[in-house]
A = this chain, B = another copy of it.
Amino acid sequence: MRPAGPDRAACAPRSSEAPLALGALDEIVGFHIARAAVSTLDAFERHLGTPFELRKVEFSLLMLLHANAAVSPKPLARTLRVTAPKLSLLLDGLQARGLLQRRPNPQDGRSQHLQLTLTGRRLAERAADAARTMEAELRAPLSAAEHAMLIELLAKLGAPGPG
């Protein structure tokens, strides 16, 4: 093992413009994930956040509701990795905007069937379109194969199992 210290590092003073040596961070996926998250969040804001007034989780929630008919909150919370109280508030928000209906589950009075309204479905489709545009932009520095590979590898890492 090489020491944790300088690597491609500079021990001489560097200009304020030159990138810093990452040291041990360079080998740590979590660091690169956190950095990439900033880039993607920026793109999200421009393509989806600002134009549709959606935050990241809200967009994800909308997509999940659109792809899964009559889901209940519990599996949504698990998939989105948010707590149950947080999801309640998110659903309140979507409902207040007329995007969502909450209906009692006839088989189990404790749970609900969630369903997008027509307005909700329309918004979901427009947002999905915008997401494709965003994705094309993010994909720019990557080849198609690299893009597909990246998603596959991230999915392996992010699957609910190992986390």
Residues of A whose CB lies within 8 Å of any CB of B are 1, 3-7, 9-11, 13-14, 16, 18-44, 56, 60, 63-64, 66-72, 74-76, 79, 81, 124-125, 128-129, 131-132, 134-135, 138-142, 146-147, 149-151, 153-160, 162-163
Contacts and interface: CB of A to CB of B under 8 A. Distances in A.
Given A5-B67, A33-B40, A135-B28, A157 B129 contact: no
A39 B159 CA distance: 8
Per assembly, the copies of the chain total 2
B79 A19 contact: yes
Given A38-B158, A70-B13, A153-B146, A128 B24 contact: yes
B157 A124 contact: no
23 contacts: A4-B125, A6-B67, A6-B68, A9-B68, A14-B71, A16-B72, A19-B160, A20-B75, A20-B76, A21-B67, A22-B64, A24-B128, A27-B151, A28-B135, A30-B40, A30-B44, A30-B56, A32-B154, A33-B36, A33-B154, A39-B163, A140-B162, A150-B150
Nearest to A146: B153
